[in-house]
Amino acid sequence: MLVTIDTLRADRVGAYGDALARTPTLDALAAAGARFDAAISPTPITLPAHATLMTGLEPPRHGVRGNGVFALPAEIPTLAERMQAAGFVTAAFVGAIVLDRHYGLDRGFAHYDDAMSLRHAASGGGYAERRAEAVVDAALGWLAGAPPRFFAWIHVYDPHAEYDPPPAWKGRVAGDAYRSEIAYTDAQLRRLLDGVAARFADGRTLIVVTADHGEALGEHGELTHSFTLYDATQRVPLLIAGPGITPGAVLPNVVRLTDIAPTVLALAGAPALADIDGSDLSNALRGRGSPNRVAYVETIDTRINQGWSPLYGVRSERWKYIRAPRPELYDLRADPGEREDLAGREPNVVAGLDREVERVHARMRELAWTKPPASAERARLESLGYVVGEPQRAVDLAVGGIDPKDVVPRLRDFDIIRALIRARDYAGALARAEAFPGDGAFIAAQRAIAALHAGAFARAEQHARACAAASPGFADCWVSLGRALAAQRRFGEAEAALRRAAEADPADADAPLALGDLRVAQRDDAGAAREYEAAIATRESSIEAHWRLAALKLSAGDTARAQQLLAVVPPKELASLEAVSALAAGEIEGGLHDAARARLEAALARNPDSSALRDLLSKAKRREKRS
């Protein structure tokens, strides 16, 4: 059983020295098995870190370099495929849509449970997710009928921002929401392990628990992760317990996520993965010495999403080296917090570690996005002026330009931009977004969204095109482009862009939702209904599609279907001005004047200055008189 706890930094676990932690399950597992003290993730990003864990390859070799826009190439063999070939029944249960099967990690799993709940899909911001309790419930349900020879991967997402533990766990750890999320996750891990022990009482289950990356928590100016390579985000727990593992062993040397797949295969007696970067740690687990590795680390998210320099580096037992516009070197023995940069004083150490970066890069796979357009679709898009050049020519992965460490503190501006949009200060949001340094996909996407809300459709189009140029596989770029073009009534071009978005990420509900809105603008209610149904049917699903489709159904007099759709929409969503306006308009067209008037009067009590609501109410009253 392989468990990955998203965004869990090592030093927030009791067994790793955190006196405030409430992690009895993880601590007991460390006592029952082996604890690796310096396990290093290759990247502070969920999907590529898991791709490394499942293949034994560093990100430059497997080609998955970020979330959402890359997929594991079909020709790369995986841990699950090897386990399946050895006769293990395989299953996976993941907690966030960032690990959706679309991205290729499902290969080798006979059962891949990536269903996300509508409640979490509607939460706004970040990725659709589900609580650890739901993931563990699904895993325990499967384990109840699993044979003894099984391989299960369980991924839980809860410690990831936003830190929002269940009500009973809020404030559980000294008012620290991140630690409280970890405490809740630890309790769910206890449920999982108890279920395994009850089902398989012979003690022969190998348990591996680790994380994809950690969390900066404000260190070095970074609040979360993705944009730096310090140990706060790269050092993760790694605990292995089971038959033949020396209890209570603490292995101090550097190991890597690349080492997990070959180790599991060796312990399981399964066929090895050939030509990989990882090494088998089974001898160390049996008390026969611990290897001392050099761990490669990288983030190119800084280039793709922000337009800053990428970062590369290596982490040895003593040194952390980061290849950046201004290189960094830290002596981890003397300076575990990585505060004193020694790069200028230790040029020979820098040169030697930089050669390790070059060694990994010498076998780098060309950059390729999840699903480039088929030739027919490419021709169509090119005729409309949308297709960017091949990604490997479009993105320069050499170090240079804006140094992330100089601008990471400004990432707080993203929260301000979102707050301004929520407050409907769209002009202020756009001004702040356009002043942000960098021209990567993520900041371009924020600019496009702010411009769309502000009604600046030509600027929104410009920013959306820049977004697609930086990251052709990022569906949000194409959705924003489609919406900007639709607002300019360039409907054919808008549809091409939105179809490109749907192709880039079929699990994303935003593209069919936008296509539904496009059909409404074209006065094609039947086509709009089909697209809204498609948005609801995606694995990410869409709350907005529910009430937009309900509005169409009300207009057509199908109140039963409308009520069914609205039953799952949270009251806060139903109270939004946009939802009220759409639903009331549908009720007016469907002759439900009393319902429209009641809805609008309640909304006006909350929003007395809304002229749009007053106009709709007047329309409802006029229609009611005529009827």
- Residues 485, 516 share a domain: no
pLDDT of residue 117: 57
- Residues 539, 479 share a domain: no
Establish if 314 belongs to a structural domain: no
80-96 residue pLDDT tens: 999 999 999 999 999 99
Establish if 224 belongs to a structural domain: yes
Domain interval for residue 161: 2-289
Establish if 416 belongs to a structural domain: yes
d(CA 590, CA 586): 6
Residue 123 has pLDDT above 60, yes or no: no
- Residues 225, 94 share a domain: yes
pLDDT of residue 392: 36
CATH number of the domain enclosing 532: 1.25.40.10
Kindly indicate the confidence band of residue 371, based on its pLDDT and cuts at 50, 70 and 90: low
The radius of gyration of the chain from alpha carbons, rounded to an integer in Å, stands at 26
Average pLDDT of span 225-250: 95
318-356 residue pLDDT tens: 999 999 999 999 999 999 999 999 999 999 999 999 999
What is the 8-class DSSP label of residue 235? E
- Residues 42, 11 share a domain: yes
Establish if 319 belongs to a structural domain: no
What's the distance, CA 209 to chain centroid?
20
pLDDT of residue 142: 98
Kindly indicate the confidence band of residue 370, based on its pLDDT and cuts at 50, 70 and 90: low
d(CA 298, CA 527): 45
d(CA 277, CA 57): 5
Establish if 174 belongs to a structural domain: yes
Domain stops at, among 497, 518, 543:
497
- Residues 191, 63 share a domain: yes
Domain stops at, among 264, 289, 314:
289
Residue 388 has pLDDT above 50, yes or no: no
Average pLDDT, the chain: 91
Establish if 328 belongs to a structural domain: no
pLDDT of residue 442: 85
Kindly indicate the confidence band of residue 387, based on its pLDDT and cuts at 50, 70 and 90: very low
Establish if 530 belongs to a structural domain: yes
Average pLDDT of span 498-509: 86
- Residues 274, 205 share a domain: yes
Nearest to 327 by CA among 338, 307, 340, 342: 342
- Residues 200, 81 share a domain: yes
- Residues 146, 54 share a domain: yes
Kindly indicate the confidence band of residue 449, based on its pLDDT and cuts at 50, 70 and 90: very high
Total structural domains within the chain: 3
Q: Which residue has the tokens 């930094």?
A: 9
Domain stops at, among 476, 497, 518:
497
520-571 residue pLDDT tens: 999 999 999 999 999 998 876 789 999 999 999 999 999 999 999 999 999 9
Reduced to 3 states (helix: H, G, I; strand: E, B; else coil), residue 464 is helix
- Residues 533, 463 share a domain: no
- Residues 161, 124 share a domain: yes
Peptide bond into 162 cis (omega under 30): yes
Residue 189 has pLDDT above 60, yes or no: yes
pTM for this prediction: 0.82
Kindly indicate the confidence band of residue 366, based on its pLDDT and cuts at 50, 70 and 90: confident
- Residues 606, 561 share a domain: yes
CATH number of the domain enclosing 155: 3.40.720.10
Return the percentage of the chain with pLDDT > 90, whole number: 76
First CA to last CA distance, the chain = 66
53-77 residue pLDDT tens: 999 999 999 999 998 889 999 999 9
Kindly indicate the confidence band of residue 393, based on its pLDDT and cuts at 50, 70 and 90: very low
d(CA 52, CA 61): 9
Residue 124 has pLDDT above 70, yes or no: no
- Residues 517, 434 share a domain: no
Establish if 413 belongs to a structural domain: yes
